[in-house]
Structure 1
Amino acid sequence: MIAIENIRKEFPILNRTVNGKPLVYFDNAATSQTPQPVIDAIVDYYQNYNANIHRGVHTLSQEATDKYEEARIKIQKHFNAANSYEIIFTSGTTDSINLVANGFTSLLNEGNEIIVSALEHHSNIVPWQMLCERTGALLKVIPMTQEGVLDMEAYKSLLSDKTKLVFCNHVSNALGTINPIKDIITLAHGVNAAVLIDGAQAAPHIKADVQALDVDFYVASAHKMCGPTGQGMLYGKETWLKKLPPYQGGGEMIAEVTFEKTTYADLPHKFEAGTPNICGGIAFGAAIDYMNNIGFDVIAAYEHELLEYATEKLLAIEGLRIYGPKDTTQKAAVISFNIEGIHPYDMGVILDKLGIAVRTGHHCAQPIMNFFCIPGTVRASFAFYNTKEEIDILVAGVERAANMLR
């Protein structure tokens, strides 16, 4: 049982008002809010041991280095990576994907094939298109169904000995669909293809075990998990990380530099050029601690309760359509909807006047919107600090906006 009243007290922003109304924050799929323990970790860093890491012999540098590397180990244990050096700190999911895409430039040849799903965020489409332009590889797409799930039989037919890479999100940011990534990974490995899973939307709701999944790369962002923006992680199997060339050149990622030749540092530093977001990494670790202290099983059960409640209430509104799986067990805590004859932007503007924060538009997933022949959706995404009472406010707001706009 989640102690919702106590949890809400730990999120200072939930006490504010918007347009004279108490804030109802349902844009968690874009960015989650930050609890006081994570805010305290950020303040503590800048107040007490702000220094550059790894290269300093003085006390502050050593303290910052220890905290930063402790955070890496927290993330390693959370995702059950075999080694801490298989966790690469990045600026976020997009940066992580681009790191891998850049690295494969030297490993692909013309005529090789890579596969991406139709449910992807632009960040898991565009870097691979750019990779194809650089290498001459061909991009193929796993189609989706009207239910907003992937056509797995079509996926099987796309796989061949030409397939070198497969990319798929764990959870769709636009529809909330939970994809069968274990099956996707197993089938890809059957043709010796590597797999990258975009875990940005899954990480706040599902505790992924990268070894059990046998995934080659898994990426996520701190700001979806009660952490800071500008911080993320890339998990990569050691064998793959050793094959990929460095993404950027500079300090920290080197072993030795001469004007004749440079040799690169061992993992993870090979991929971490320059001064990193030290505070962000430490705060990411604090956010992982915070969520694990609540418990991901507890979080998942409560968020599913919110999802079922909101689905039932919203579907009672005349003309409202929810996109994505009808079976809520196939979804994370996301509801993407429209009301017939009403543009999602107009709905979002009115909801904001009522203090309700939702996301409207194509959610950086234009191919999904094109599939449904719509300009976008209204997306309400829930977190463990939301309540059924807030959902009631949302439903009343949607009904009020619909009456005004019809």
Structure 2
Amino acid sequence: MSLSESPSLVQQLTQVLLGAVWDGDALAAAESLWLVDQIAKAEIVVSEAFQEMAAAEKPLNDDPPEPEPLPSNSTQEVMPSSPIAEVVLPSGNAEDGPSIEESEDEDALLPSPSPPPAPPEPKQTVGSGRDSIPIIVPSAPALRNALELSRALRVLKRPIASMHQQAIDEEATACRMIESRVVNQAFYGPVMVPALERWLEVDVVVEESKSTFLWRDLIDEFRRLLEREGAFRNVRTWQLKALSGGEALSGAGDVALDEGLQRRWGLQAWGGQATQCNRPKSLVDRRGRRLILLVSDCVSPVWYGGEILPLLQAWGKQQPIALVQLLPENLWPRTALKAGMGVQVRRPQPGGDLEVVGTEWRDRAGDDGLGRNAVKLPVMALEPYLMKRWARMLAGVGIRLRWGLCLMGK
């Protein structure tokens, strides 16, 4: 066979590449060669990308590679060697895709993902075999019937004319302006009238005793109830402290009584850290527009010994006062209140003096059941029906309060 008849190298290559698949022409051979070249370039780019990802995203638990030791005569810094991925050319036909071995090699180049952090282990309670997590649960309210108590105090929301503040009477001012223009007179300014304000302000006095800490939450909720009610100009809370031993103060003069009460009792702000005490006389309001609520369980020695009676007398002469008994009504006979005399009281006018309209034990103190040094004290508990009757009696609506107490002074 002559040279001209022998197949050319291109024809031989074409027969080798395409002979096993199909019989094609030179265009098919050129396209196959181009495809092989593109696949090789793409694999090189992908392998370099895998190499960069493996260097940037190493597992946290892998130790960094140690640099190779430098020669003794070398002064140049040598960087740690990076792994170089092998370029795997496709074997076989281009359209068959990468082989299984190639896929495994590419997967080996991907970094292994780091394991997720373990969740925190739940705490275990002492004496419990099960896992548990502590949670914060709000405690139950100490004042269970706050809404009913708030409704019972609404009768005390009565505005009265202020003795210090004034307001403009718009209607009277307009009439004055019209009259001044009709008669051609000068206008002398607006018409001022006393402003309206709340009738009472409240001082809550908590007796300090060994059992006060038992009622602290209840007292705080009762104080907040009075503040949110809006029936009082001001609400203050005090703590009554006994400063010295008992003294015979009943029957003493006003000056001696004031000095004796100052030495015997002191007032501190409720919940405060102040060491200085206020005088008990500072709560006296000669206008009778300050209500004193004495909060106590009546089991301390000052009740059994009668030492607190002069203080109650001084407070109750010119202003309303009431005892808020912390214990339920069925336990009152077990306290110092059993030494008093149960009476029925009423107020002919709002904030006026108490009048005794009936007694249960007249034989204990004569025909009228009262003595000169008797202390007439309304008693109530933090119960809606008791609070409502007391509030109506204080407002002077003609209600008789059965739960009155007459404590006999010495």
- The TM-score with structure 2 as length reference comes to 0.22
Structure ID, larger Rg? 2
The structure that is helix-richer by fraction is 1
- The TM-score with structure 1 as length reference comes to 0.22
Flag the structure with more relative contact order, 1 or 2, with Cα contacts below 8 A and sequence separation at least 6.
1
